[in-house]
Structure 1
């Protein structure tokens, strides 16, 4: 196998951003001069993927169809050594090849080395480049990744935020910034969205940046149709919620919520404006939460409409278990004040445990255990009252 030591990448990434990549090329050339075994005249790419790359037989069979033109292990060996030198583990290398088999055909000197040098030049660390390669290996095969990534770092605010966006859309770095991304962002800015909201929207839903101008204008129009102003803190959540819905589907979902929660036209609009993500909830889940909150807990329709965030909470993981705890504490006289259900439901888990579970470990020694059981979907006998 072609010998490319990890020191090659270390020297590259530790050099000043303004330095030439020629030192890397000299190192690669020197490594290439190392005698290598002559390639087998009958190079078996499928077996190579298993033996050298760690793919399973099924993965190798699938990947080999994209590498049928490869007749020698020379370039794949160089690519594998380059990835190892970059800091990727064996498991990461296997994942890269399984995800993007053509990565093995990429020229190390022609493409990979200059791209990595460019990424180092804009401030990415050795570790960050390795993480990018593991998540979106195709990005290193495009020289345009350097200016594109620099733009997204500025937009998203940090490398960690950018990685979050890439997990949602691995093709993000491939889109034209000038022809696609900037015009879409301009539409959002024209509607009054600030840089912070655009950044958060881009991280949570990067496909907003790559959709057509016609589509993004329609999404904005749908969000505005809910009664939300672009200056509202909830507007970006509304954009997220309606991104894959048209006006007809939105109208149908709102009508369903009106009937399910017995809301008026005004109440359903209040609920959706305060919690736009309700539009993405399934009808079955809305029905189940309606039955529980109204029939079991006894909440009024108007009460729920003005506190719709409660409908975004997990029924099995939060709403039911905390109702059981609240009822238990009241039955046992362990509450020193009249605590409302919404107050206890919206608390973070940490605060809830500190305020309503831990303080009662002596008076109710099984409360924590029973609460954990309820969170798993079971109803402990101590939570059943006549």
Structure 2
């Protein structure tokens, strides 16, 4: 028998195609994100030796499949969920136009929350690398975290590495690179100081570029500690081409600093950003400004290569002060090039005024060497040149402090 129909109703045929699930309401999506964060926190606090299969099951449970949502707008998601400004979201959304639902980015955001990245850090990460939101948590990000934990990095250090390395963190090659860099740098802090100025170390080819450069620098007499100090000052050093490294070494030797000597690292630091032509021009400027002979400028550059990095204006100001005002001979300065490494406003000029005042007031032997007054530490200078004269010159400390601030009194007072 045919089923009896109720009055006023009709049985509608069941559609042959699946009806898409409605988009999760905001409260439900928020609960899903909290669940993911909770599970990921358990994962991150577990032993580094936890099986990746177990990791995948937990993450899969935290990230159920979400059907394509026709109403999903990437730009709005970036603003409301990731904290980007509208212009930032508009630019970033161009790389995420393929996203049809918040499933993947929600999983990534939950992962980042499990690492305790701040909202500002997450926003900055998305701005610089929008495709990070498309990374596979269970196949890429989570195994990388497990590997970094095995290398001894804490969760807070891993979170910082995410912010510094950006797109490089999405590549599992980061594990082999950190395995090399951490022993070389000796601490994650020094490595992060370099990465803060650019992620070139993580994007460079380790086997073809970085390791050969390191080996060559060691052949030149540099220790690992020397290499690290150079990298902190010049973050692009190790990722550079071998030709550029060899040119730097040749320039250092060309200014009179041979390989293996104590000043070689300082010479490399000085010539690193300079071409051969610029080095030649700077040497000629030093000769002209300080009235030095070829031999004298050679002594200065070999003892303190950093003078090559000074601006022409700064060198001119120091020359006029030391020769015209202090009354030092060019040869005297050439054999004491450390004078050129100190600040004119903060050290050279204020200490000169104190020494001059004390000599004119009869409180200091006129034969006392100005160079020695400049070379000692601030604490020692105050103890030797300020404190002994508190009674005879009660305003000396005040005037010296004013001079150090750039507020040089017209004359030092004496009572």
Tell me whether the two structures share a fold, i.e. TM-score over 0.5: yes
Partner secondary structure for residue 111 of structure 2: helix
Match 1:341 to one of 366, 370, 377: 370
Structure 1, unmatched stretches of 5+, are none
Contact persistence 2:190–2:232 (CA under 8 A):
yes
Q: 1:8 to 1:237 in 2, by over 3 A?
A: farther
Match 1:165 to one of 160, 177, 194: 194
- 1:54 aligns to what? 83
Contact persistence 2:115–2:155 (CA under 8 A):
yes
Contact persistence 1:241–1:276 (CA under 8 A):
yes
Cα distance between partner residues in 1 of 2:385 and 2:215: 48
Q: 1:225 to 1:24 in 2, by over 3 A?
A: same
- 1:263 aligns to what? 292
Contact persistence 2:165–2:202 (CA under 8 A):
no
If asked which structure has higher relative contact order (CA below 8 Å, sep 6+), I would say 1
Structure 1 residue 89 and structure 2 residue 100: aligned? no
Structure 1 residue 325 and structure 2 residue 362: aligned? no
Which has the higher Rg, Structure 1 or Structure 2? 2
Q: 1:110 to 1:270 in 2, by over 3 A?
A: same
Contact persistence 1:310–1:342 (CA under 8 A):
yes
**Deviation, structure 1 residue 151:** 0.5
Tell me how large the CA RMSD over aligned residues is: 2.7
Contact persistence 2:393–2:413 (CA under 8 A):
no
**Deviation, structure 1 residue 340:** 3.0
- 2:250 aligns to what? 221
Contact persistence 1:139–1:145 (CA under 8 A):
yes
- 1:107 aligns to what? 136
Q: 1:336 to 1:83 in 2, by over 3 A?
A: farther
Q: TM-score, normalised by structure 2?
A: 0.83
Does 215-224 or 295-304 show the bigger shift?
295-304
Stretches of 4+ aligned residues off by more than 6 angstroms: none
Structure 1 residue 32 and structure 2 residue 39: aligned? no
Contact persistence 2:36–2:107 (CA under 8 A):
no
Q: How many residues align?
A: 383
Q: TM-score, normalised by structure 1?
A: 0.89
- 2:22 aligns to what? none
Structure 1 residue 174 and structure 2 residue 185: aligned? no
Cα distance between partner residues in 2 of 1:67 and 1:149: 29
Does 114-123 or 62-71 show the bigger shift?
62-71
- 1:42 aligns to what? 71
Structure 2, unmatched stretches of 5+, are 1-28
Contact persistence 2:68–2:101 (CA under 8 A):
yes
**Deviation, structure 1 residue 272:** 0.8
Cα distance between partner residues in 2 of 1:83 and 1:359: 60
